[in-house]
Every structure is written in C-alpha cells, then in structure tokens.
Amino acid sequence: MLIDREKSRAVGQNMLSRLVQTFLQGVLVLAPVGVTIWMILVLFNAVDNILPSILHSIVPSFVGIDSEGNLKKIPGLGFVVVLLFVLIMGWVSSTFVFGKVLSFVDRVLEKTPGVKIIYTSVKDLLEAFAGNKKKFDKPVLVNIDGADIWRVGFITQKTVINFGLEDHVAVYVPHAYAISGILFFVPSHKIKPLTNISAADAMKFAISGGVTEV
C-alpha cells in the first residue's frame, strides 16, 4: 500500500514537472513575439492618438467628432504614416543635398553643450546595430572571469592605446534578457574570433542566455 502511494506521488510529481517545463517552453516561444507586438502597438497607438489633432487643425473636415465631442480616430492611420515617414526619410537621406543638410545638423548637434551628450550617445548606439557604421559586427569569445570561462562579446575598438593600454582591444559584452552590457579592455591574446557564426546569431545567443540555437 505504501509502495503504491509512493508510485502515485512520483507519477504526480513527474506530470507536474512536465507541465511546468511545457509552460516555460510556451513562455519562451510567446514572450519575444508578445513583447515585439506590444512595442509596435504602443508606437502606432501613440501616433494614432496624436494624428487626429494634427489633421483636424490642418483639415477640420477630414477628422470628424464623435457624440462625446472627441476627435474620431482613424484605425491603422498611425501604421501607414510611420511606415511612409521612415521610407521617405530613408530615401531622402540618401540624396546629395539632404545628405549635406544632415551633415550640417549633425555637426551643430555634436557641438551643442548638453544636447551633444544625448545626441551622440543615441546616434552611436543606433549606428552600432545598423547602418554603414555597424560596430557589433566582430563577434568573439572573450576570457575575463577565469582561465576556462568565456563570454560572447563584440570588438568595438581594435586599439585602446589612447587609454594607456597597449595590445588591448575594447570588447562589449551584452547582458542576457536586457538592453545593456559592459565594456571591457582586454588583452588581445584573451579573445578568440568567432568565424563560424554571424554577428546577428552571436548577439541573439548572448541576449537569449544561450537559449537560441546557432
């Protein structure tokens, strides 16, 4: 009788363990999709909330008013406007004249006290991930914590001699499940270039905590 109870308990614990594992697997599958969709919806809803007021001030007849006296929203208009705006900015920025204007504005903002800190930080961060000046395109294994312990990182500067360190490189190590990381100055002999995987796969692997397969 006692053996039967122990078997039943073991079976119950095994089923519970499988249910928990299956649930966590579902969370891992749905979380990235859910967070991405949520961020997109927040962006487009913000634009949808702002656009009616702007359009009403320009073309009052284009946006109607509901029974409560509020401006009517046009579903999906925010998505279309954001998409068109990004496409137009991408096309215009590639033209010669507008490129010169952007370069002038860029120089002004980079020399404006206070503003330049925020502007250059955001600009460098975005250029590190995209554009023609991508920085996180050299994935490496970096030895920091111990003789046989390695982290996934990205070389951002091949030399840091200006900091008084010869034969060192700047390596950015991203944190898992966070938009953050740590910059290390590491001796060149303590890094191993990753040549068998892409920079994007290395970044996904590091940020996912090793869950993503490469």
Q: What is the pLDDT of residue 18?
A: 78
Average pLDDT over residues 176-193: 87
Q: What is the mean pLDDT of the chain?
A: 76
Q: What is the pLDDT of residue 23?
A: 75
For every residue of 145-177, DSSP letters joined together read: EETTEEEEEEEEES-BGGGTBTTEEEEEEEPTT
Specify if 154 maps to a domain.
yes
Average pLDDT over residues 15-35: 71
Q: For residues 69 and 22, what is the distance between their CA atoms, to the nearest angstrom? A: 49
Specify if 84 maps to a domain.
no
Q: For residues 74 and 13, what is the distance between their CA atoms, to the nearest angstrom? A: 52
Specify if 156 maps to a domain.
yes
Phi first, then psi, for residue 171 (nearest 5°) are: -125, 125
**Is it the case that residue 186 has pLDDT exceeding 90?**
yes
pLDDT tens digits along 146-164: 888 999 999 988 999 999 9
Q: What is the pLDDT of residue 184?
A: 93
Specify if 50 maps to a domain.
no
Specify if 159 maps to a domain.
yes
**Is it the case that residue 168 has pLDDT exceeding 80?**
yes
Average pLDDT over residues 188-209: 87
The alpha carbon of residue 85 and the mean position of all alpha carbons in its chain are separated, in whole angstroms, by 21
Specify if 8 maps to a domain.
no
Structural domain including 193 reads 139-207
Q: For residues 203 and 153, what is the distance between their CA atoms, to the nearest angstrom? A: 8
As for how many domains the chain has, the answer is: 1
As given in the structure block, the two tokens for residue 146 are 């111990």
Do residues 143 and 191 lie in contact, with contact meaning Cβ atoms separated by under 8 Å? yes
Specify if 93 maps to a domain.
no
Q: What predicted TM-score, i.e. pTM, was given to this entire model?
A: 0.48
Count how many Cα atoms sit within 13 Å of the Cα of residue 104 in the half-sphere of its side chain. 6
pLDDT tens digits along 61-86: 666 666 665 666 666 666 777 777 77
Specify if 153 maps to a domain.
yes
Residues contacting 183, CB < 8 A, separation 6+: 156, 170, 171, 172, 173
